[in-house]
Structure 1
């Protein structure tokens, strides 16, 4: 196990630096107003570019494996929320009310795309199915995330009007995504040749939203209201959720008779949660003064899932090669 796998990646360090900057120099006044506009533009651009990157061929290639796709959707939008809700008596006392709302929000989010596919590839899993599952999860999340969250929060006023929330997500996230995908035949190759630009837009948009969200939260007294015990409790809660979901997906995949390659796709697509989708969506769903606390569990879970899944992918990759697959590959050579 490489030691580097257990260290934060560069983007996580950027996130920490952004939260620190917002804590020391929060955006206020005219700058905060300009930042709000810039954030909306950046997020719309982010989803436009993600729509343009989405491969229709990859989706069609994986749709035929409907049992695997149902398993991933069920894990992402049913198992996670049920665990977050059912474990409320145990988890809620460990954190503050806003952090627990953030945990429920985390449970309702779609799967990550890049990380899930990368881990499935590293582990020698069913990569086409992983691409399909992760992409479909992002699209379904536009509608399912606010619906599931509305059920979890019930009478909680943190999210406001449910239909209004879905409408705002549709306008700010889904429409740019669809526009980007429709323009893919003309701009897809151009974007493929400029992956470094895409990475800057990806990470820059998220950092901008995080800075804006935490600026509001800091001004409203986030850190003065957040005891160290709650931060420690948050680490425990994220660890418990991740361990339970990984255990259930591994056990369930084997009980349902999936191949090892399919199991890998289910585990990595079902157990991960998208930071790139979750941070902008929180900015749309929640009031500015609570959005910072809401995304904090997601940021902690994001780093935890990267470290744990990297180790798990390495373990899968060390398994002996399937003789049947090896023979088939040799025959094609």
Structure 2
């Protein structure tokens, strides 16, 4: 019976990771102490080390030949990167007048932070594969998006916060992101042709669990800070439901905009699938990591992470359903 329940949840994108995210937030609300503790062996310090390993392993698994294979389809790449880093943020900026009010400022800022993030790698490629899209192009775009985001996301956040957030120098943030994310990725990429690359490929599933556990640790510490400082006292169920509905509207708005542009450009079916799936998704890994660096363990970080966490869960559910429907439709056609 339990297996059937988990299988049903998995069909709709609700895997153990999504449920664990909810669990660590509840845990942080009841027991914030370990999450706010300092020291070399604190959860926060261990999570910082874990971040660098996540991106080292990511670079280690990046196969350069697969990246080169997806390089030639430049129109598709431009559409995906434009939707990820320009269409998304511009949609939020267009709504700033109505949404960026005193009572909603933090939620709007968190939603804009989500809009400025890169696309997610693993789930984009998996969903494109299920829907029989252009897999090499998906790997290329999701990977390039992750690297571009290290620079573009902080620039967008700098622009909307007036170049400074909580008295932090954005140049210092860029340096930390380069050292903590870009450098490990480059090191991993250089070591990909060695036996280490083969080992990383062989144990890809286990490395994914490591990524997810590190993200859970970051989410726990971020929400512990917020609960410890009573940051959620003014946030009710109504606001959360409204935010969730807003995330679904944002996802489908971008999804249909990309689909419309892809048809105007006369993309074939495989490229349309890749464009809509890669261009409409956002990375919770980059979101949690960059929030930790950009917002410097601010007690507001938990609230700022709410939009990306809701979006992550809802995008997986929506894209899982769409990908499976596309696959079935193609099977009937053949």
Tell me the TM-score normalised to structure 1 length: 0.91
Structural mapping, 1:75-114, within 5 Å: 75-92=83-100, 96-114=104-122
**Number of the residue aligned with 2:312:** 302
Aligned to 2:217: 208
1:30 CA drift (Å): 8.3
Per-residue deviation, 1:192: 1.8
Alignment partner of 2:204 out of 152, 177, 195: 195
Tell whether the 8 Å contact from 2:35 to 2:220 is kept in structure 1 after alignment: no
Q: Of 237, 244, 247, which aligns to 1:238?
A: 247
Aligned partner (choices 15, 19, 37) of residue 13 of structure 1: 19
Alignment partner, residue 280 of structure 1? 289
Check conservation: 2:226, 2:300, Cα contact below 8 A: yes
Q: Give the length in aligned residue pairs.
A: 323
For the Cα contact (< 8 Å) 2:44–2:217, is it kept in 1?
no
1:187-236 Cα offsets, whole Å, 9 max, x none, are 11111222343022111110111111111111111221322222122112
Partner Cα distance (2:198, 2:57) in 1: 12
Structure 1 residues 247 and 158, CA gap change in structure 2 (3 angstroms): farther
Q: Give the superposition deviation at 1:271.
A: 0.2
- Name the counterpart of 2:176: 168
Separation (CA, whole Å) in 2 of partners of 1:88 and 1:219: 29
- Distance in 2 separating the partners of 1:179 and 1:230: 43
In the superposition, relative to structure 1, how do residues 322 and 25 fare at CA in structure 2: closer, same or farther (>3 Å)? closer
Q: Normalising to structure 2: TM-score of the pair? A: 0.91
Q: Tell me: CA distance 1:160–1:3, structure 2 relative to 1, closer, same or farther (3 Å).
A: same
CA separation in 1, counterparts of 2:329 and 2:132?
9
The answer to whether residue 56 in structure 2 is matched with residue 44 in structure 1 is no
- Any conservation in 1 of the 2:35–2:225 contact (CA below 8 Å)? no
Counterpart Cα distance in 2 of 1:148 and 1:104 = 9
For residues 240-279 of structure 1, the aligned pairs below 5 Å read 240-279=249-288
Structure 1 residue 296: Cα displacement: 1.1
C-alpha displacement of 1:270: 0.1
Q: In 1, distance between residues paired with 2:269 and 2:102?
A: 36
User: d(CA) in 2 for partners of 1:105 and 1:177?
Assistant: 22
What is the deviation of 1:159? 7.7
- The runs of 5 or more residues in structure 2 that have no matched partner are 1-6
C-alpha contact (below 8 Å) 2:99/2:105 kept by paired residues: no
Q: Deviations over 1:238-273 (max 9, x none)?
A: 112111101101111001111111000000000000
Q: Which among 17, 34, 37 is matched to residue 31 of structure 1?
A: 37
Q: Superposition pairs for residues 37-76 of structure 1, below 5 Å?
A: 37-76=45-84
Partner of 1:154: 162
Cα pair 2:83 2:280 within 8 Å, conserved? yes
The answer for unaligned runs of 5 or more in structure 1 is: 327-333
Counterpart of 2:300 in structure 1 is 290
Displaced runs of 4 or more, over 6 A:
none
What displacement does 1:23 show? Answer: 1.1
- Cα deviation digits, residues 145-182 of structure 1 (max 9, x gap): 11122223336635832211111111111111111111
